[in-house]
Chains A and B, each alone.
Chain A
């Protein structure tokens, strides 16, 4: 490289854009290291499209679930702002103290999910009520000054934008841009609000209306959203409310408090003198457990998505939700991870897509893929059940295998189409029983069906016994519910089941009339016979359709079952990892010289591992000098010195330094700390030995 400079110096040459390597795409990461590029690209695309579908579905679902609370919130804001417009004509509103309308929005402790709710809230507000919406987070409002500054910045930024669109009076717009720090007061906001509303609604009528929205009133309210009320410093909040209340007669301010715990937190943070400035109304969102139930119902318990989770994996995801975070967003992230892992690690997942596509993919399978199919446990089980002639064909003839696979895949899809309606019916029947023998939630029933034959469970037997004692009205109403579930029957079998069920229901209603006559007899009444028949029928349905997926050939194509991988990724245990690294360095370093038998320890391990190992043998207090000597002995052995020689195990400067470094690393990791109890000793912070 050369420069035109005459003087000597350092020059920076930035690489030109062309020369730079294109940064790898997601697809490159996905296909990296796979033998069959074509196959893994296909998998990647299937995975992506499936995920897109799942994502939009769950987003729609969440929007739907939030709709009710958001609608009432919007209604509240509209009403409050229109009461501001009405002004102070009548006696009552003149006499009343002017409170700041405040919506206390209780969202539950699943804080990660709140972002989405606030996002859609402020979008809808901007769309239909007012362009002036500010969201605040506690971490950016440490002091009153920052809070006011943030409010002004976000609002008047919007105001500047309005001016730009109008393309009129640019000089006015520029005054509001030159926001001097000194001007950060609500008075500035008030002046700005006056100019904006006047300009927008008097000078340029026709055009302006359309850009903000038709149903925006003359004085659109200023909505301030406090996303996490608990975290705000009470002092800042109180001062801000006091200031705002001084302007409430001129500025239509409305607050929204996002509350994670309970609304009583308002009374804890604000004294009466401040809370009396607010007119608080409560809005409660759906609980996160209900939310999860709906997501599972729509995304997991459906034959729409070919990708399935095994019982264990679902259990891991659900237990992270219930035990740790209550976050639906994290649940969906976990689902995404499982999806990605499945398509990445299972080459046969090319077949995990819609039926028609999958059938197309079968014909393109390579010889290697066919071998993989032949090695699948479920396929091997299937082969064993065939006649000897067939077995040979299935193990040698690729084309025959492909033909059989087509049939098996169709069967698998059918299995899913029958499985979910029957699962729902069984849940309807058992979820109203006392003590919920098969679980209160449908996901529990689903998990137990996935794990083994549900009819072998003791709980299933007891549920059946309870059902056999059910009164007529209850049973009929349950059967009617089942019939509703089966209505959109997708397969022949389901339609047949529905016919049979409807027939049974009509017979029940008839037997109602006959029952009165045969009440006194000891013999089984008509009703009892019928009841047994119905339950027999359901039992046969369960046995036929709710067999665990392992029984289906090729189930590995659709089911992701590595629960350990998922748990390791989602529920990391840093401490266990550190201990593994220190006691078994081979686990991470993969250096053959470190490989050891169980229980033994290579003296060639890194210094910190040796020091760690030695410290495990000590008590609560460790003598540093003894420790150093022991370390020197181990290291000398690693150097291959003769045990008989004079300087074997002798401490030289290098060893000393290495030892000190290792010890301070241990201290940094929190295994030891210095102590004043004894000179030249350190104390251990963990318990237990090797």
Chain B
């Protein structure tokens, strides 16, 4: 607890409680308090707070507003599938349940402003109201006038209201090109390793000493800090692995002071956790069961990469891969019997010298796909309807992707969306040596 929060107009003990609830965010919270001023003073019209995931943005704001009994509305923009929903939630939290009925069926911004003003006149408040918009980056995708209007809502509704925007993106990505009112910017930096240590150590297990838990957190951070600084995720991992950590203590093999032994016990386990449960390869429940039973490891999600396909679908996919990664001019060389000798260097254009696999798949027309398909498949295939329907099934399975709009009936274009490893595995099952047909590996 470095600095005490000080702000006239609020009770001393409340401020103290707030500062206890907000460890390692003293600078930010006192800054915010200073901006907010005394309860009835007008504040700055809009404040923009940004910082990475789990850096305490919403936590700080909500704790401040809640603990200090300030009227506020908080809205998560992902949930607002329509504008009406957003307005309704704001009015609901600021003016009570009846207010939302005043809005029309699909309200516009001016409806909102009008209703807001109307309600303001009915119940004038002395205190500053706050509207917190979480995940504010989504406001950009809504109506163009929404973001600029929220930034100067104070002026529009002529009320003592401040809008706080929370986002993980910097303000520069928000600024509309028509210009707008500039909000105050406030950055929440990532927690440092010491800060993480301090915060995580606070929720120690009731039946063990805080020192032990702190030592555990220290080991955990040693393993995970390089890959993950997300507080929520770290707390989750700590909860999952603590049981394993205290196992030797429970069985009485080690006592609390032998930290080295404890470390040796838990470290390989945490490393394994990093590759499995952290990536959600196995679920947390499975991970816990695995720890208890010491049973054989559950195979992760990505271990099941194998896809079984009908015979012709495999060849269609192979043909699509060839069409995507070979330049069209080289088809002669690969699929005609008497193509003559064409050396790679002779018909190379300058831009084709880079590997096609580095450039990614290129779109191709349906005709070309079928032409290649008929020349790679080993038997005669009738051009039946099911061959065509297999192409669209491959699209629904996301193994091919259609380029352009999918209502283009005339000469549709596709791209192959599978990796080289995948197609190698597929062509192995039909004993087709795809490498021989790939221009990049010539």
Contact = CB atoms under 8 A, between A and B. Distances in A.
A490 interface: no
Contact of A571 (B302, B311, B313, B385): B385
B280 A276 contact: yes
A267 B301 contact: yes
A576 interface: yes
Interface residues of B, number: 57
Given A92-B242, A95-B238, A96-B240, A266 B206 contact: no
Contact of A239 (B78, B283, B285): B78
Contact of B79 (A185, A268, A325, A572): A185
B336 to A, nearest CB: 14
A280 to B, nearest CB: 5
Interface stretch (B9-17, B115-123, B267-275, B393-401): B393-401
A440 interface: no
Contact of A574 (B80, B302, B313, B385): B385
A684 B402 CA distance: 26
Contact of B396 (A231, A275, A321): A231
Interface string A216-239: 000000000000101100000001
Interface stretch (A29-37, A106-114, A591-599): A106-114
B432 interface: no
Main secondary structure of the interface of A (DSSP, over half): helix
Given A91-B205, A99-B284, A282-B304, A573 B383 contact: yes
A154 to B, nearest CB: 17
Interface in A567-600: 571-576
B81 A246 contact: no
B169 interface: no
A145 interface: yes
A243 B79 contact: yes
A302 B285 CA distance: 45
A179 interface: no
B88 interface: yes
Contacts of B236: 95-97
A242 interface: yes
Contact of A264 (B206, B301, B384): B301
A96 B312 contact: no
Contacts of A260: 397
Given A275-B280, A324-B312, A576-B383, A243 B203 contact: no
Most A CB contacts (10 A, CB to CB) among B88, B238, B284, B306 go to B284
A595 B88 CA distance: 75
Contacts of A275: 280
A111 B393 contact: yes
A28 B213 CA distance: 81
B284 A326 contact: no
A327 to B, nearest CB: 9
Contacts of A408: none
A572 B78 contact: no
Contacts of A181: 82, 105-106
Interface in A89-105: 91-92, 95-97, 99, 101-102, 104
Contact of A109 (B240, B284, B310): B310
A657 interface: no
Contacts of B396: 111, 228, 230-231
A433 B356 CA distance: 46
B283 A281 contact: yes
Interface string A503-547: 000000000000000000000000000000000000000000000
B398 A99 contact: no
B392 to A, nearest CB: 11
Nearest to A572: B385
B235 interface: yes
Interface in A136-192: 143-145, 148, 180-182, 184-187
A182 B105 CA distance: 7
B279 interface: yes
B427 interface: no
Nearest to B410: A670
A79 B85 CA distance: 35
Contact of A145 (B81, B240, B286, B385): B81
A323 interface: yes
Contacts of A326: 308-310
B386 A185 contact: no
Interface string A282-296: 101001110000000
A95 B235 contact: yes
Contacts of A320: 386
A564 interface: no
A211 interface: no
B239 A279 contact: no
B382 A576 contact: yes
Nearest to A240: B78
B227 to A, nearest CB: 10
B284 A266 contact: no
Contacts of A261: 307, 397-399
Nearest to B104: A182
B53 interface: yes
Contacts of B80: 185
Contacts of A426: none
Nearest to A575: B383
B308 A182 contact: no
B385 A109 contact: no
Interface in B251-290: 279-280, 282-286
Contacts of B66: none
A389 interface: no
B273 to A, nearest CB: 13
A264 B305 contact: yes
A263 B399 CA distance: 14
Given A96-B240, A97-B235, A278-B280, A273 B53 contact: yes
B386 A182 contact: no
Nearest to B138: A239
B386 A108 contact: no
A86 interface: no
B99 interface: no
Contacts of A321: 310
A628 B28 CA distance: 84
B145 interface: no
Interface string A71-101: 0000000011001000000011001110101
A106 B311 CA distance: 20
A265 interface: yes
B55 to A, nearest CB: 14
B84 interface: yes
Given A111-B393, A320-B386, A182 B82 contact: yes
A324 B304 contact: no
A260 B88 CA distance: 40
Interface in B349-391: 382-387, 390
A99 B203 CA distance: 20
Nearest to B278: A276
A322 B311 contact: yes
B82 A571 contact: no
Given A231-B396, A320-B386, A109 B307 contact: yes
B311 A323 contact: yes
Contacts of A83: 285
Nearest to B83: A182
B193 interface: no
10 contacts: A79-B285, A96-B239, A145-B82, A182-B85, A261-B307, A261-B397, A279-B280, A323-B312, A571-B385, A573-B384
Given A261-B399, A573-B382, A575-B383, 17 more contacts: A83-B285, A91-B239, A92-B243, A95-B235, A101-B283, A109-B313, A182-B88, A182-B103, A184-B82, A185-B81, A185-B85, A261-B398, A275-B280, A278-B283, A280-B280, A324-B387, A326-B310
Interface of B: 53, 76, 78-82, 84-85, 88, 103, 105-106, 203, 205-206, 232-233, 235-236, 238-240, 242-243, 279-280, 282-286, 299, 301-302, 304-313, 382-387, 390, 393, 396-399
Q: Which 7 residue pairs spanning A and B have beta carbons closest together?
A: A95-B239, A279-B283, A97-B236, A145-B81, A182-B84, A263-B301, A324-B386
